[in-house]
Amino acid sequence: MKNIYLLLLIIPLVFSCQNKTTSDNDIARLTRGTVNIMDESAEKFVSLDSKIELLADSLTIAEGPLWLSKSNSLIFTQVQLNKVYRWSEEDGLSLYIDPSGYTGIVPAEEDGILGSNGMALNSDGELILAQHGDRRVAKLVGWDADNPTFETVAGSYEGKLFNSPNDLAFADNGDMYFTDPPYGFGFEKLLTSTLKEQPVNGVYKLSASGEISLLVDDITLPNGIALSPDNKTLYVNCSDVEYPFITKFDITDNGIENRSIFFDGSELVKTSEGWFDGLKVHSSGVVFSTGPGGVFIITPEGKHLATIGTTSNALNCAFGDDEKYLYITAFDYLARVKLN
């Protein structure tokens, strides 16, 4: 895993940047990155002249984007700052939840990455967050002035605290799938934290009835997770640059089966910076996954159609209303691409 350690030396440099935001007036015409087309069928979604529009700049580990239709806005987390922010066309950027991922209910590493990461709405429209610092999946139950309150949805497995839940996705039947890598312990103690209780970095399912089951125990650093539109396929990203794969599974009544490599990025990591992090699935079944060099557009059969190239490591993505825009959170900025 030597490549991981090289990344660990580079990544902390980003944290030294101050959290600044750029006003809508300043960034109205700015773009970052370019689109690379590998197959003409990609033009159903993007084209060579698609613009990657900058929405907010100088962020600190922007992650977990989620579109809120009721408020016509996007929320996302700055994991290192332990805060969730809201962006809208009308109001620009504003603070939304503080703190977002660490409230002090469990021990945490002093230099850990403690904020929330992936977010999703459950069937009742409630906000569910993967909280690194509190080492749980939690539900936002209210605000008291500036003090949010959370309720634990999943906090342990077999009597042991989770590492730091990272990303999550809901099935139509209410089952929740989530990943649990150790990133919340911080990059310096990623592999050595004495706070780690789980023997694995797992992929879990919380059934709608409340039962937690461990589905996968051998993906080194499971990260982004998503389901196909028909809820028959589960996709899991591995953010270990020595195992740069997107893995897929068939979802069954009893769990998962028929594991296979959906996309192999081993050649791409040799020439481009980054790793497989967050991913989302379009209503067509096409996968939009962050990876080395940007956001990959991949058919359900695993064919690479295009890459939305970013100038900073792309960490996650989300679709807006009617899938008109793809929003991208990178290490230090928020951007969007209008889809065809």
pLDDT digits (tens, 9 = 90+) for 51-66: 999 999 999 999 999 9
Kindly report the pTM of this predicted structure: 0.92
Q: Which of 161, 167, 133 is nearest to 239 (CA)?
A: 167
Tell me which CATH homologous superfamily contains domain 2-338. TolB, C-terminal domain (2.120.10.30)
| Range list of H helices, the chain | 2-10, 12-15, 24-27
Residue 17: predicted pLDDT: 40
Q: Write out pLDDT tens, residues 140-198.
A: 999 876 789 999 999 999 999 999 999 999 999 999 999 999 999 999 999 999 999 99
Whether omega before 99 lies within 30 degrees of 0, making that bond cis, reads: yes
> Cα 196–211–84 angle (5° rounding)?
60
Number of residues in the chain: 340
What's phi and psi for 26, nearest 5 deg? Answer: -70, -30
Angle at 136 between CA 131 and CA 139, to 5 degrees: 75
Per-residue pLDDT, 23 = 45
Q: Could you tell me if 254 and 248 are in contact, meaning their C-beta atoms sit under 8 angstroms apart?
A: no
Is pLDDT at 338 greater than 90 in this prediction? yes
Judge contact between 20 and 258, C-beta under 8 A: no
pLDDT value of residue 143: 82
pLDDT at 44 over 90: yes
Binned at pLDDT 50, 70 and 90, residue 269 comes out as very high
Report the alpha-carbon distance of residue 59 to residue 81 in Å, rounded.
Answer: 9
Using the structure block, give the residue that is written with the tokens 């893995």.
Answer: 247
Residue 101 near residue 79, CB atoms below 8 Å: yes
Beta carbons of 238 and 179 less than 8 angstroms apart: no
Supply the pLDDT for residue 27: 45
Encode 153-179: b = buried (16+ Cβ within 10 Å), e = exposed. Answer: bbbebeeebbbbbbbbbbbeeebbbbb
* pLDDT band at residue 11 using 50, 70 and 90 as cut-offs: very low
Give me the percent of the chain exceeding a pLDDT of 70: 91
Q: Letter for the amino acid at 266?
A: S
Given a cut of 80, is residue 14 above it in pLDDT?
A: no
Counting residues of the chain whose pLDDT is more than 90, the rounded percentage is 89
